[in-house]
Every structure is written in structure tokens, then in C-alpha cells.
Amino acid sequence: MTINEICKTLAEGDDYIITSHEAPDGDAIGAEIVLHSILKYLKKRVFILNSDPIENKYRYMDTDNAVDHVAPDAPLPLDPEKMTLIVVDTEPGNIGHLSRRLNSDTTRKVYVFDHHDYDKSLPFDGFFDSNASSTCEILHQVQQHFKIPYFQPLTEAMFSGIVYDTGSFIYPKTTARTFAIAHDLVLNGARPNFVYSNLYESKTTESLRLRTMVGKSMELVFNNHVAYQYMDRETLIQSGAKYEESQEIVNIPLQCSDVRVSIFVKEDKDGRTRCSIRTKNEIDCLPLASRFGGGGHPTAAGFKLTRPVEEVKAEVLDFFAPFFT
């Protein structure tokens, strides 16, 4: 769909549910709040509902307490049958346990706003821009289409999502357009220091303990070019940290000039395991993630494990071996 087509669809509808991926990050939460603000401005009935709770460090964006979540065995706080589902920053099959109750069979229609790369043709409707730095950058086009003014919490949430998904304006998809949008957001009330402090300087003591414990598991292979870290559920429980607080651990090894690939396999308290991968320069990890049914970007991707950890580890390392041998 074009931006005109998706905006026409939004204008014609009345009732919306917004959701995003499991353990929603800065861009996911920011995008949910931005879209919620846009639809509320358009006088729509709209709810944000996730499979997982919002992490404390993102609560500063949610000044209206709009972001809600539901436990797997809890009833939905709304009737989805006559509502349109909008998935942001991921695809409909990656919204956690809610995918069983919020999908094309249980809602009126499903649309997606996403900036991730897909190896296959898109099986769902929506607006996609794989060149955008973030989903929040995509939603800037929606705001501009409707000529909606900057206001809080839209302004700071959009800026936060862009800051988070660009790694503070350093990742490859950061463009002149990204800076231009950020410039307008700051001119209209976004506070860079406030956002940075909340995103990167508000970690709990437990999260620091978790980083230290996971760091002990690090293996450096292929002449120190690939770092592998593993977090089992016992480590997570012993640290006292929440699973969401492990998200950024995968980025730490890339601070070393020798390391070009960082692999982080992490298990939550329920035993579900995911693999996150980050790479530098020309190394594309998206084909690997797609092989396991995951997705993401060429330099940042991930997938869920359905096979034993050691078996997956061996296959992942085999994938990267040709880059360094």
C-alpha cells in the first residue's frame, strides 16, 4: 500500500487495536504511542495492547498510560471482532501470545507498519519502508499526511523511537531524512538529554548484575571476530533482572574493534529461547535469521529457537565461518 492508501484506510475506520512484538523496545513503544496519538487526534477509538508489559525505562513516553498488556491466560479487555488490528515494528505472527487471539480471523482487518527487511513477498497489508531508520520515522509520514501538529506525547515518543533504533544516530539506516525529522522534533519539544537519560541511564542494579553474569559466558572465536554469549533461565532468575533488561547485552561485544559479529542466545523464565545477532560492516545476518523463521535487518536480526541450543549454536557459527576463514 502507498502512504495515501494506508492513510485513507485509517481515516475511514473507527475502532483500532495497536500492538507490537514481544518484549517491545524503544521503537516499538514509541511507534505505538505515536500511532495512538495520531488516531486519537483523528477522533478514533483506539487501544494499545501488548503480550508483554512495558519496561520501566520506556514509561516516560507513555504520559497518558495508554500502553497496556494482557497475560496469556487473562481475558481480553476488549472485543476485537469489530476492530482493526495494527501491528507496528514487526509482522502479525511475532506479537507473542496475542497472535492466537488477535489475527485476521478474530479482527475486522490487519495492517502493518514496519521498517524491517523481508526475504519473501509480504503476506499482509500495510506500509513498509526497509530504508527507514525506524518505524517511528515511517509514522512521521502519516503525521505529515494528515497535517497533524507536533504535540506530546507524540513528539517525544517519535524522537525516542528514532534515537533507539538508530543507536543514537549511528546505525547504517540513519540518513539525512532521519536527522531532518529529529531536528523538527527537537524544535517542537523533544528533549534529547531527557530522552537519552531515560533510554540509556536508567538501568536497574539487577540489570547490571545480569550483564556481569552473562559476560562470564562470552566465547570469542574466529580470531576474536565473533562473540557468543548465552543466558539460561537460572542466570536470569539469580540476577533478579527482568527478561526485557537483557535486550541490549548483544550490543556490548561490538564495542571491541576486533568483534564484527555478536551472537546472544537468551532464555526467559518460561524456558522460551531466542537468538539475537548484531553485525558490523558488510556482514549480512538476515539470511541466517530467515533460515530459522526469524527476521530483522542485515546488521540486526533474531529468531526463536525450536531446536537444542548447542545444535543451533553450531549452525550459527558455521554460517559466519566463511567470513573469517
Last residue within a domain, chosen from 200, 230, 249: 200
Predicted local confidence at residue 249, as pLDDT = 96
Do residue 146 and residue 273 come from a single domain?
Answer: no
Burial class of residue 276 (count of CB atoms within 10 Å of its CB; 0-12, 13-18, 19+): buried
Range of the domain at 280: 205-324
How confident is the model over 6-28, as pLDDT tens digits? 999 999 999 999 999 988 999 99
- For residues 71 and 161, state if they share a domain: yes
Mark which of 143, 172, 200 sits at the end of a domain: 200
Residue-wise pLDDT tens digits, 126-137 = 999 999 999 999
Local confidence band at 122 (pLDDT 50, 70, 90 cut-offs): low
Q: 42 and 188 share a domain? A: yes
For the four alpha carbons of 174, 175, 179 and 180, in that order, the dihedral sign comes to negative
Q: Which of 213, 285, 242 is nearest to 22 (CA)?
A: 242
The enclosing H or E element of 50 equals strand 45-50
Question: In this structure, are 92 and 16 located in the same domain?
Answer: yes
- For the chain, give the number of residues: 325
pLDDT digits (tens, 9 = 90+) for 57-96: 999 999 999 999 999 999 999 999 999 999 999 999 899 9
Interhelix angle 135-145/176-187, nearest 10 degrees: 60
* pLDDT exceeds cutoff 70 at 119: no
| CATH number of the domain that residue 286 is part of | 3.10.310.30
Q: Which one of 152, 172, 200 terminates a domain?
A: 200
Mean pLDDT along residues 265-293: 93
72 & 213 share domain: no
Cell 485476521 belongs to 104
Domains of the chain: total: 2
Residues 89 and 156 in one domain: yes
Q: How many CB atoms are located within 10 Å of the residue 301 CB?
A: 24
What is each CA distance from 282 to 172, 279, 299, 321, in whole angstroms?
11, 8, 8, 14
Same domain flag for 194 and 309: no
The residues, any chain, with a CB within 8 Å of residue 13's CB and separated by 6 or more, are 44, 84, 109
User: pTM surpassing 0.85?
Assistant: yes
Report pLDDT for 282: 84
Residues 232 and 173 in one domain: no
We report the CATH number of the domain holding residue 18 as: 3.90.1640.10
Tell me: do 87 and 220 sit in the same domain: no
Same domain as 87, residue 72: yes
